Amino acid sequence: METKIGVFICNCGGSIKNINFDAAREKVAKIPSVTCVNLSSNLCLGEGKEKMLSYIKEENIERVVVAACSPELKEHIFRQVLEGAGLNGHFFSMANIREQCSWAHEGDVTVKAVELIKMAVNRIRLLQPVEKKELSVNKEVLVVGGGFPAISSALQFSRIGLRTTLLEKKPNLGGKLREIEGFYSLETSSMIGAVEEDENIEILTSTEVVGVEGKIGDFTVRIRKGAEEILRNFGAIVFATGYETEVSPQDFQLKLGINIISQERLAQMLQASSVERKPESVGFIYDVSDENSRLPTLATLNNALTLKERWGSEVYVFCKNVKVDSEGVEKLYREVREHGVMFLKFDEKPRISAEDGRVKIEAKDILLGEDVTLTCDLLVAEEKLVPAEETEALSTLLNIRTDSRGFYQDENVHLYPVSSERGGIFFIGGCRSDLDFQRALVDVSSVVMGVYKLLSPGKILVEAERVKVDRQKCRTCLTCIRVCPHSAIQLVRVDNEKEVAEISDLACDGCGICAAICPAKAINFEGYSDEQIVAQIEAIGAS
């Protein structure tokens, strides 16, 4: 039986003057499948909407084309009318006869308006129904990591009633928390105490993730503790695995030793109750191996200030740029300078050599425009931020790309900063970027929001089989599985014989890459099939 398509043309309150609407109506009525054409002057307003609704019901219209203004303006209103009439919202299309037709040209544009309408009709005539279905989700969250972001997000999940498992590969929770607690008035022991007491939080230490199967709302995670492996189910996974630092002595042509130390070693010395001999002069150097990171600036400023206060040494900082683009850092920088710390900015890498048991630094200071030679008792070398050891293995396991520096999560960072290409998998804190403490805090509560939105209703509404593989045509070439950025495609065995690709409705993002790339044309993206697009193009110039 022929599908009944209704076309509603609106002249926008009579403001569209260069279309002959009666002629257009006559031509549109002759397009196959069009059973009714209605002319209106106020389709988006109350009266127009009521008329549209009653027409749809009286004429038993199944699919609707609206020819009016840009869909940007009123599309949502027409969709509401369709919903009110009990029609599938998928069977709807708009022809923009105002902005892209009437307003774009001078003189009569009836022919173009009719063609635009015909394109829309041709498209929706071939549409197949897409049903929506509800899938239930697991409401438990897995947080991987044991540092500040991990602990803090577990506590916040618990506040909103989501049960959380905190999984740390080391024997104890805390991570780098103890190193930074002094700067931010944190108490490591009380934070760890809070997670331990929380009945919504389960803690697994000396434990690793070795496998992740499944998809958003329904992950199966293989967990290894010692020789034992168990499987657990979670609705969402948050990775907060942190970063590591390394000092590359080759950048300085010198070995770390008594005179050249890392920021970490300096922090330990500053925390110790006494030192053997207070250094009279200390140099800091960064921007040598990585000039695009904020953490070396932050560590230098914090340590330089403490050093001035505790030891009163002369302090010199060699760098290219002071990274002040974090909250409160410009203020800290000023305070550090007021304490007498000198900043020397170089363009070419300074030369560092040993001299009489001290460290000699030769640099061309671009602020002075002169060569400067300084001899310090101690040189604090740049620490380079590197991804945590397991990052590479985990990213392969998760099939999530890393960025150019090897940290998690390449794409999509700007849409929702903590999410990844795979729904239900999130990255927060130092494992995704070099964040200052304030930004890390924001990451924590923002991931809690993301997970809450996903899991708290207990179910997800998805479009069923919008992107579908034709099992007859699939030749198991695996191209789609390789290109899918969302890991939404898997192989399934059919009738104990051949294996074919299958797309998960839950994990699919509707990007269409698989449909475009499939060499056997076995994947159909409903609404954008070749047939539907060709039918639209054929309408151009046909009248």
Partner 1 sequence: METRDVLVIGAGIAGLASALGLANGGFSVYLIEKEAAVGGYAASFCCKATDVCSKCSVCVAPDKIKEAVIHPQITLLTNSTIKKLSGELGDFRVEIIQQPRYIDVERCIACGLCTEVCPTEPKAVYPPSAEATPFSYILDEGLCLRFKGEDCKLCRESCPTKAIEFELKSKKQELSVGAIIVATGFEVFDAREKGSLGYGRCPNVLTGLDLERIFNREGYLKLPTNGNEPKKIAFVQCVGSRDENHGYCSQICCKYAMRLAGLVKYKDADAEVTIFYIDLQTAGKGFAQFYEEYKESIRFVQGVPVEISQTSSGELEVRYEDISQGKVCREIFDLVTLSVGISPRHDSWNLAKILGINLADQGFFDIKDSLGPNETNVDGVFLAGTCQGPKDIPDSIAHGMSAASKAIQVLSEFASRRRGNQRGH
Site for partner 1 in 282-321 (CB under 8 A): 291-294, 320-321
Nearest approach in angstroms of CB 47 to partner 1 is 10
Torsion sign across C-alpha atoms 317, 320, 325, 330: positive
Nearest approach in angstroms of CB 386 to partner 1 is 14
Per CB under 8 A, the list member of 256, 324, 511, 533 interacting with partner 1 is 324
Nearest approach in angstroms of CB 35 to partner 1 is 27
Q: Which two tokens stand for residue 53?
A: 């609704």
Size of site (CB under 8 A) for partner 1:
72
What part of residues 422-441 is at the interface with partner 1 (CB under 8 A)? 432-434, 437-439, 441
Q: Does the protein bind partner 1 through residue 353 (CB under 8 A)? A: no
Nearest approach in angstroms of CB 193 to partner 1 is 16
Backbone angles phi, psi at 100, to 5 degrees: -95, 5
Per CB under 8 A, the list member of 265, 452, 465, 509 interacting with partner 1 is 452
Nearest approach in angstroms of CB 9 to partner 1 is 14
Closer residue to partner 1 (CB): 69 or 539 = 69
Per CB under 8 A, the list member of 345, 349, 360, 401 interacting with partner 1 is 345
Rounded to 10 degrees, what is the CA torsion of 121, 122, 123, 128? 100
Crossing angle for the helix pair 188-197 and 148-159, to the nearest 10 degrees: 40
Q: Does the protein bind partner 1 through residue 453 (CB under 8 A)? A: yes
Nearest approach in angstroms of CB 317 to partner 1 is 12
Per CB under 8 A, the list member of 1, 258, 415, 461 interacting with partner 1 is 415
Alpha-carbon distance of 428 to 432, in angstroms, equals: 6
Q: Does the protein bind partner 1 through residue 442 (CB under 8 A)? A: yes
Per CB under 8 A, the list member of 443, 467, 526, 539 interacting with partner 1 is 443
Nearest approach in angstroms of CB 67 to partner 1 is 14
Closer residue to partner 1 (CB): 440 or 481 = 440
Closer residue to partner 1 (CB): 16 or 379 = 16
Nearest approach in angstroms of CB 458 to partner 1 is 11
Choose among 131, 155, 133, 158: nearest CA to 217: 133
Closer residue to partner 1 (CB): 218 or 287 = 287
Q: Does the protein bind partner 1 through residue 245 (CB under 8 A)? A: no
Taking CB under 8 A as the binding criterion, the range among 12-20, 84-92, 271-279, 525-533 that sits at the site for partner 1 is 12-20
What part of residues 150-179 is at the interface with partner 1 (CB under 8 A)? 156, 159-161
Choose among 341, 338, 358: nearest CA to 307: 341
Nearest approach in angstroms of CB 504 to partner 1 is 21
Alpha-carbon distance of 463 to 130, in angstroms, equals: 6
Listing DSSP states for 86-105 in one string gives T--TTSEEEEE-IIIIITT-
Q: Does the protein bind partner 1 through residue 418 (CB under 8 A)? A: yes
Contact 287, 382 (CB under 8 A): yes
Q: Does the protein bind partner 1 through residue 28 (CB under 8 A)? A: no
Closer residue to partner 1 (CB): 264 or 410 = 410
Choose among 145, 208, 205: nearest CA to 177: 145
Choose among 278, 250, 285, 267: nearest CA to 360: 285
Q: Does the protein bind partner 1 through residue 136 (CB under 8 A)? A: no
- Which residues fall within 8 angstroms of residue 235, CB to CB, at 6 or more apart? 137, 138, 139, 140, 141, 216, 217, 218, 219, 424, 451, 454, 455
Contact 64, 92 (CB under 8 A): yes
Closer residue to partner 1 (CB): 5 or 82 = 82
Closer residue to partner 1 (CB): 40 or 536 = 40
Choose among 28, 27, 80, 76: nearest CA to 56: 80
Closer residue to partner 1 (CB): 264 or 403 = 403
Choose among 118, 120, 70, 113: nearest CA to 93: 120
Nearest approach in angstroms of CB 230 to partner 1 is 31
Q: Does the protein bind partner 1 through residue 395 (CB under 8 A)? A: no
Alpha-carbon distance of 261 to 269, in angstroms, equals: 10
Q: 197 vs 69, 192, 193, 202, CA distance in Å?
A: 59, 9, 6, 10
Within a 10 A sphere around the Cβ of 488, how many other Cβ atoms? 24
Q: Does the protein bind partner 1 through residue 145 (CB under 8 A)? A: no
What part of residues 37-56 is at the interface with partner 1 (CB under 8 A)? 41-42, 44-45
Taking CB under 8 A as the binding criterion, the range among 262-270, 274-282, 367-375, 486-494 that sits at the site for partner 1 is 367-375
Report the amino acid identity of residue 14.
G
Q: 427 vs 59, 169, 216, CA distance in Å?
A: 53, 17, 14
Per CB under 8 A, the list member of 185, 190, 250, 274 interacting with partner 1 is 185
Backbone angles phi, psi at 455, to 5 degrees: -100, -30
Alpha-carbon distance of 173 to 144, in angstroms, equals: 11
Per CB under 8 A, the list member of 190, 253, 274, 404 interacting with partner 1 is 404
DSSP state of 3: -
Alpha-carbon distance of 317 to 195, in angstroms, equals: 40
Closer residue to partner 1 (CB): 216 or 359 = 216
Q: Does the protein bind partner 1 through residue 322 (CB under 8 A)? A: yes
Q: Does the protein bind partner 1 through residue 15 (CB under 8 A)? A: yes
What part of residues 67-126 is at the interface with partner 1 (CB under 8 A)? 69, 72-74, 76
DSSP state of 541: T
What part of residues 503-522 is at the interface with partner 1 (CB under 8 A)? none
Nearest approach in angstroms of CB 156 to partner 1 is 6
Q: Does the protein bind partner 1 through residue 189 (CB under 8 A)? A: no
Q: Does the protein bind partner 1 through residue 475 (CB under 8 A)? A: no
